[in-house]
């Protein structure tokens, strides 16, 4: 998919190309060089680094990725005959501003500017993104892009960003900041805060945030969790034992592999460590951040062009955002107790999960839902047999893991929650189903075809 620069004022063409501003060296091939998707990958990765630094919860991080990625997509689509706008396909999104007819614009550069500005609006550490963007623009200038093109492109990207920011203000996110906290009850089947920090339930009103393509947060309501029962031989306690014994396997290699899988897919943005009277935290990417990085990896492996890479980010981010809404709707409906709470009170007071339990109810598994939704979207774009090496966790001192498909990776991400001791099996299996439904609904709503997973 090729993009060209829109040169509307034909009579001025010789001036733009042959008479650069004083001291400016224009590269006649700058249009091809600025179309390298690595520029966009760098901008998205910097946003991920700031999201990690600022410690956003998984649902909030998903929202940041979604609006910033849509902004980049819409700015790029304005200059494309092939990449259609999302306006109308997302029913509540109005068309982006029309590009000025008398300006030479690099729509790739406009996409970067739009993605950057929306991302900066939604995070805390604005200066980190501002510094990065200045460095990125310095690299753009080194290519020999005319100053006027840079200015025009950034201006148009900013106009699209302002349009997306205004749209985002209507999704009820800001209002949910003032909604009531989760109320703890004495019902033993209901979620209670977990060690070590016993934090309040995160985002109990997230289902009220506006989705992109879902008709309602409960559109894909999963099967309910196993009925709670204190009876020793109940289905509930059978499920508890599966969690309790997940790492109690005789084969040491198998046990080591399960631990490796659990740690690789942990993706907990804030892990609290307590040593005596001291406390410190470890920051990591969220589940959505991990899949955004997989989108970058897939783009590079597939040698995708700029447009395909931008489309992948937008669709993956929208899928994760809708997935979090659907998942959180169920989480705070069933309000199910976590394995850590139940096992310590009823089975083994000394048991602890391998992973730190996240601060929200159990059913369904958020990582299972989001991983499957993102995998469905990436499968649609890049196929069901793209092999890749996932190095997303290398910077967090975890080794690369290899996959033969996105669906395989999503299944491993899901089962990691059992190995980590933080989810019962039904939350995982139903989470995969829910995520697949969300991902396919997004594809069909945007005009594509559903992906049939290989069971």
> pLDDT, tens digit, for every residue of 243-282?
999 999 999 999 999 999 999 999 999 998 887 777 778 9
Question: Spelled out in words, what is the top-level CATH class assigned to the domain 25-171?
Answer: mainly alpha
Task: Provide φ and ψ at 376, rounded to 5°.
Answer: -60, -45
Could you tell me if 357 and 344 are in contact, meaning their C-beta atoms sit under 8 angstroms apart?
Answer: no
Closest CA to 384 of 432, 435, 317, 451: 451
Write out pLDDT tens, residues 308-341: 999 999 999 999 999 999 999 999 999 999 999 9
Confidence of residue 429 (pLDDT cuts 50, 70, 90): very high
| Range 435-445 average pLDDT | 98
What integer pLDDT is reported at residue 11 of this predicted model?
33
Alpha carbon of 50 to those of 218, 230, 283: distances in Å?
Answer: 32, 45, 11
Rounded to 5°, angle at Cα 193 from 190 and 196: 145
| Strands 401-403 and 388-390, bridge-based pairing | antiparallel
What integer pLDDT is reported at residue 453 of this predicted model?
82
Task: Provide φ and ψ at 90, rounded to 5°.
Answer: -90, 110
| C-alpha to C-alpha distance for 347 and 48, rounded to whole angstroms | 40
What integer pLDDT is reported at residue 23 of this predicted model?
58
Task: Provide φ and ψ at 87, rounded to 5°.
Answer: -60, 130
Instruction: Answer whether residue 4 shows pLDDT above 50.
Output: no
Burial status of residue 253 (CB atoms within 10 A of its CB: 0-12, 13-18, 19 or more): exposed
380: alpha, beta or left? (left if phi > 0; alpha if psi -120 to 50) = alpha
What integer pLDDT is reported at residue 27 of this predicted model?
85
What integer pLDDT is reported at residue 452 of this predicted model?
83
- Check if CATH label 1.10.606.20 holds for domain 186-208+211-445: yes
Mean pLDDT, the chain, whole residue set: 93
Residue ranges of domains in the chain: 25-171, 186-208+211-445
Instruction: Answer whether residue 167 shows pLDDT above 50.
Output: yes
């Amino acid at each position: 998919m090729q993009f060209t620069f829109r040169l509307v004022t034909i009579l001025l063409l010789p001036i733009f190309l042959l008479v650069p501003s004083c001291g400016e060296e224009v590269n006649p091939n700058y249009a091809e060089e600025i179309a390298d998707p690595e520029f966009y990958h760098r901008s998205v990765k910097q946003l991920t680094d700031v999201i990690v630094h600022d410690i956003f919860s998984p649902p909030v991080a998903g929202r940041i990725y979604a609006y910033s990625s849509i902004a980049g997509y819409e700015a790029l689509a304005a200059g494309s005959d092939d990449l259609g706008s999302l306006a109308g396909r997302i029913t509540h999104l109005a068309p982006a501003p029309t590009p000025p007819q008398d300006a030479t614009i690099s729509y790739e550069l406009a996409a970067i500017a739009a993605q950057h500005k929306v991302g900066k609006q939604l995070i805390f550490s604005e200066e980190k993104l501002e510094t990065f963007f200045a460095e990125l623009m310095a690299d753009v200038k080194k290519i020999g892009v005319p100053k006027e093109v840079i200015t025009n492109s950034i201006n148009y990207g900013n106009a699209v960003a302002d349009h997306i920011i205004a749209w985002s203000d209507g999704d009820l996110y800001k209002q949910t900041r003032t909604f009531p906290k989760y109320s703890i009850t004495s019902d033993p089947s209901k979620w209670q805060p977990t060690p070590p920090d016993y934090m309040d339930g995160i985002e109990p009103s997230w289902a009220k945030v506006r989705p992109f393509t879902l008709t309602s947060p409960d559109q894909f309501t999963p099967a309910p969790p196993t009925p709670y029962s204190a009876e020793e031989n109940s289905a509930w306690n059978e499920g508890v034992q599966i969690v309790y014994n997940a790492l109690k396997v005789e084969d040491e290699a198998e046990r080591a592999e399960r631990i490796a899988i659990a740690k690789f897919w942990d993706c907990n943005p804030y892990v609290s460590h307590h040593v005596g009277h001291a406390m410190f935290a470890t920051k990591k990417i969220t589940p959505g951040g991990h899949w955004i990085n997989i989108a970058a990896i897939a783009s590079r492996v597939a040698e995708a062009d700029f447009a395909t890479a931008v489309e992948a980010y937008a669709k993956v981010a929208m899928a994760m955002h809708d997935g979090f809404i659907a998942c959180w709707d169920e989480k705070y409906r069933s309000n199910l107790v976590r394995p850590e709470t139940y096992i310590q009170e009823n089975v083994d007071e000394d048991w602890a999960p391998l992973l730190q339990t996240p601060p929200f109810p159990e059913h369904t598994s958020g990582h299972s839902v989001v991983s499957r939704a993102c995998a469905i979207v990436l499968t649609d774009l890049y196929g069901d047999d793209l092999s890749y090496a996932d190095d997303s966790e290398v910077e967090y001192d975890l080794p690369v893991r290899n996959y033969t498909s996105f669906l395989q990776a999503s299944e491993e991400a899901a089962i990691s929650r059992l190995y980590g001791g933080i989810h019962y099996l039904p939350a995982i299996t139903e989470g995969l189903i829910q995520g697949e439904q969300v991902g396919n609904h997004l594809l069909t709503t945007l005009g594509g075809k559903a992906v049939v997973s290989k069971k």
